[in-house]
Amino acid sequence: MVSPRPAVEALPAYRPGRNPADLAREIGVDRAIKLASNEVAFPPLPAVVQAVTAAAGETNRYPDNGAAVLTAALAERYGVDPGQIASGCGAVTLCQELAQAYSEPGTSIAFAWRSFEMYPLLARVAGARPVQVPLVPGRDGGPADTHDLDGLLAAIDDTTRLVFVCNPNNPTGTAVRRGELERFLDAVPATTLVVLDEAYREFVSDGDVPDGVELMRGRDNVAVLRTFSKAWGLAGLRVGYLIAEDPAVAEAVRKTHVPFSVSMLAQAAAVAALASEDEVRRRCAAVVAERARLTGELRERGLDVADSQANFVWLPVGEQAAPLAEALEARAVITRPFPGEGVRVTVGAPEEDDAFLAALDAVRDDVRVAVRPA
């Protein structure tokens, strides 16, 4: 019998959010609501639909492996050289390519925990040791939900090749501010690459949460990850990108890139989305406003909800996470539980969030969701 590597065999399978159509059929309702995967509720941008339709007529050909048009558009947008950019099939693929480019057995990858669930899996696949640094409370008396940058710095040693800083953090939605992040970056050894994972950057409303691309400049061991899957509405097409101060970092990622993995349709859609930035900004502003409303409604119900800088909110309900998510699914609302820790709820359209709140009101007594004292 042929067996995979023990490290791979021991990996848990990635679990995406449930398909709402499947849940609707299962429980016998017309429609289920999915607030589990941090997608935006808006339909694709009109320019994206037009670009994808035009590109579909060329899909008998391979896509441009270097994504030259997209790379040039990104380089102009951020004021960098095209050689500083690498594209990939979503930001998670770039995380994997970074791990492959910089890690090997005997090295380590450090990151906060809980954070993006793929970090420890990608470390193990690359043969590296995952180093998890626990989150700390972001406010007095609050739950552990924020990066401990001092702890992360202390965890770096001679084996540490990569450090991931997810800002805003997934799944808690909290973000580290400019001063502490600058101090952290200045203290990290030059031989360790810091990757600022900014998948949710477009939803940041706190002016003291820095733009990673600004902090990257002048720091050769810093790279930034962004994605078109969230704010830009291209989750179904999968395209992300990396910007590195040192072009050698982007070149290393391109060397581990799976050829042609960013499809022709994805490249065309991303270019069209960038040209529609004004509309994207309006959509993000609507998400931020709805996030504030949803946060206020949850706090009125006594739930301890931190200020989120992403397009989701975090319910730190501990051991009730799995029962709560299961009870909500029984009422046709899909959320993302992290058993023993909390439930992540995507900010949806107002009517979707109202349905979630109604379902929460209906089940919370049965599930015994803890509330914060008034």
pLDDT digits (tens, 9 = 90+) for 226-254: 999 999 999 999 999 999 999 999 999 99
Tell me, yes or no, whether 250 lies in a domain. Answer: yes
258, 274, 290 - which closes a domain: 274
Distance between CA 216 and CA 98 in Å, rounded?
A: 17
End-to-end, the C-alpha distance of the chain in Å comes to: 60
pLDDT at residue 331 is higher than 70? yes
Give the residue, 295 or 6, on which the prediction is more confident: 295
Tell me, yes or no, whether 39 lies in a domain. Answer: no
Closest CA to 261 of 129, 120, 94, 122: 94
pLDDT at residue 372 is higher than 70? no
224, 255, 274 - which closes a domain: 274
pLDDT at residue 23 is higher than 70? yes
pLDDT at residue 134 is higher than 90? yes
Q: What is the pLDDT of residues 178-221, one digit of tens each?
A: 999 999 999 999 999 999 999 999 999 999 999 999 999 999 99
Please list the residues that pair with 83 across neighbouring strands. none
- Same domain flag for 256 and 109: yes
Phi, psi (5° rounding) for residue 259? -55, 135
Q: What is the CATH number of the domain that holds 258?
A: 3.40.640.10
235, 258, 274 - which closes a domain: 274
Tell me, yes or no, whether 16 lies in a domain. Answer: yes
- Same domain flag for 237 and 97: yes
Q: What is the pLDDT of residue 364?
A: 87
Give the residue, 77 or 7, on which the prediction is more confident: 77
Q: What is the pLDDT of residues 110-119, one digit of tens each?
A: 999 999 999 9
Q: Which helix (H) or strand (E) holds 291?
A: helix 277-300
Distance between CA 35 and CA 324 in Å, rounded?
A: 14
- Same domain flag for 201 and 104: yes
- Same domain flag for 134 and 171: yes
- Same domain flag for 258 and 300: no
Type of residue at 237: L
- Same domain flag for 163 and 178: yes
Q: What is the pLDDT of residue 373?
A: 43
What is the residue-averaged pLDDT of the chain?
A: 96
Tell me, yes or no, whether 40 lies in a domain. Answer: no
Other CB atoms within 10 A of residue 98 CB: 28
Give the residue, 15 or 339, on which the prediction is more confident: 339
Per DSSP, which regions of 16-99 are E strands? 33-34, 85-88
How many domains are contained in the chain? Answer: 2
Quote the domain boundaries for residue 267: 46-274
Other CB atoms within 10 A of residue 14 CB: 9
Distances (CA, A) of 289 to 209, 235, 335: 18, 22, 20
- Same domain flag for 23 and 143: no
Torsion of CA 349, 354, 355, 359, to 10 degrees: 140
27 neighbors 326 (Cβ within 8 angstroms): no
Q: What is the CATH number of the domain that holds 341?
A: 3.90.1150.10
Tell me, yes or no, whether 185 lies in a domain. Answer: yes
pTM here is 0.95
- Same domain flag for 189 and 257: yes
- Same domain flag for 112 and 231: yes
Tell me, yes or no, whether 372 lies in a domain. Answer: no
- Same domain flag for 211 and 354: no
Structure tokens at 230: 């969230």
- Same domain flag for 184 and 79: yes
Distances (CA, A) of 272 to 52, 92, 197: 9, 22, 23
Closest CA to 370 of 321, 317, 323: 317
Q: Which helix (H) or strand (E) holds 226?
A: strand 222-227
Tell me, yes or no, whether 36 lies in a domain. Answer: no
pLDDT at residue 374 is higher than 60? no
- Same domain flag for 255 and 299: no
Tell me, yes or no, whether 358 lies in a domain. Answer: yes
Other CB atoms within 10 A of residue 225 CB: 26
Other CB atoms within 10 A of residue 207 CB: 8
